[in-house]
């Protein structure tokens, strides 16, 4: 179900990433949204934003690889992907994080765009909906859902989500379920959804709600945001970051071998 984008791609830690700046990525997503508005029968388009952890998971997870192959856009959320791309002849111009992309898209979306929030806690989703309505008054917030843990294994919950999105006639879905759950769910159910654009953007709903604070801008730009996240949630992230660091040399070596170096 690939949407057939024509952007150049480059290999970064084994992931084929679209070579786009933030402005270009926003423009591409807005193009998808406009098409969804004009042609309700076009396929659902999925935007994924990989980081180093996604690259590690893609080594072992065949379903996740299928989801990535079907994605309309693959944008580098993690600085390690940007750095790795510089080993080749088509380096990524910059990092395009889901948490930065989403507000930019919301600000640029045509007036009347119908937006649906899927993910986050009930309180966070409610706060995010309230903040989005205040900051982007031209948009139409048509719904929100906060599925419980493990919902992806419950066919009734997935049916409920698809029905809610369909009845709301959503054109842009901010999907904040965490990886790889959000990518897998989007890929598995895209064919049952109307013409929509799904942004798989992790904790972005929490950022929109203001319940989670991002790292200072200088840490984001220098690739040190992971330190801020680690200190904020060490119990969850220490093991993951250690595993990712162990795999990083293998991924870099794979890129070099693929380029014949």
Q: What is the pLDDT of residue 76?
A: 97
pLDDT in tens, 125-174: 999 999 999 999 999 999 999 999 899 999 999 999 999 999 999 999 99
| % of the chain at pLDDT higher than 70 | 97
* Residue 54 contacts residue 247 (beta carbons within 8 Å): no
109-128: per-residue pLDDT in tens?
999 999 999 999 999 999 99
Confidence class of residue 5 from pLDDT cuts 50, 70 and 90?
Answer: low
CA distance 144 to 171: 13
Whole-structure pTM over 0.85, yes or no?
Answer: yes
The C-alpha atoms of residue 198 and residue 176 are separated, in whole angstroms, by 10
**257: pLDDT strictly greater than 80:** yes
Rounded to an integer, what distance in angstroms lies between the CA atom of residue 238 and that of residue 203? 18
């Amino acid at each position: 179900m690939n949407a057939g984008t024509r952007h150049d791609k480059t290999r970064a830690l084994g992931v084929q990433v679209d070579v786009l700046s933030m402005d270009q990525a926003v423009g591409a997503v807005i193009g998808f949204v406009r098409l969804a508005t004009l042609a309700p029968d076009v396929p659902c388009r999925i935007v994924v934003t990989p980081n180093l952890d996604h690259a590690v998971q893609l080594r072992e997870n065949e379903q996740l690889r299928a989801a990535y192959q079907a994605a309309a856009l693959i944008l580098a959320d993690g600085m390690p992907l940007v750095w790795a791309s510089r080993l080749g002849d088509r380096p990524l111009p910059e990092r395009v994080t889901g948490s930065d992309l989403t507000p930019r898209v919301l600000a640029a979306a045509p007036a009347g765009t119908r937006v649906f929030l899927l993910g986050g806690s009930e309180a966070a989703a409610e706060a995010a909906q309230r903040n989005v309505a205040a900051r982007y008054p031209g948009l139409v917030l048509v719904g929100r859902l906060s599925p419980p843990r493990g919902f992806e294994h419950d066919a009734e919950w997935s049916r409920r989500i698809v029905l809610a999105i369909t009845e709301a006639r959503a054109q842009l879905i901010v999907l904040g379920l965490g990886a790889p759950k959000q990518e897998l769910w989007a890929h598995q159910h895209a064919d049952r959804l109307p013409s929509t654009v799904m942004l798989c953007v992790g904790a972005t709903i929490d950022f929109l709600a203001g319940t989670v604070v991002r790292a200072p801008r200088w840490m984001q730009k220098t690739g040190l945001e992971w330190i801020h996240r680690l200190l904020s949630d060490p119990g969850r992230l220490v093991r993951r970051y250690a595993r990712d660091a162990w795999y990083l040399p293998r991924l870099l070596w794979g890129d070099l071998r693929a380029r014949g170096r």
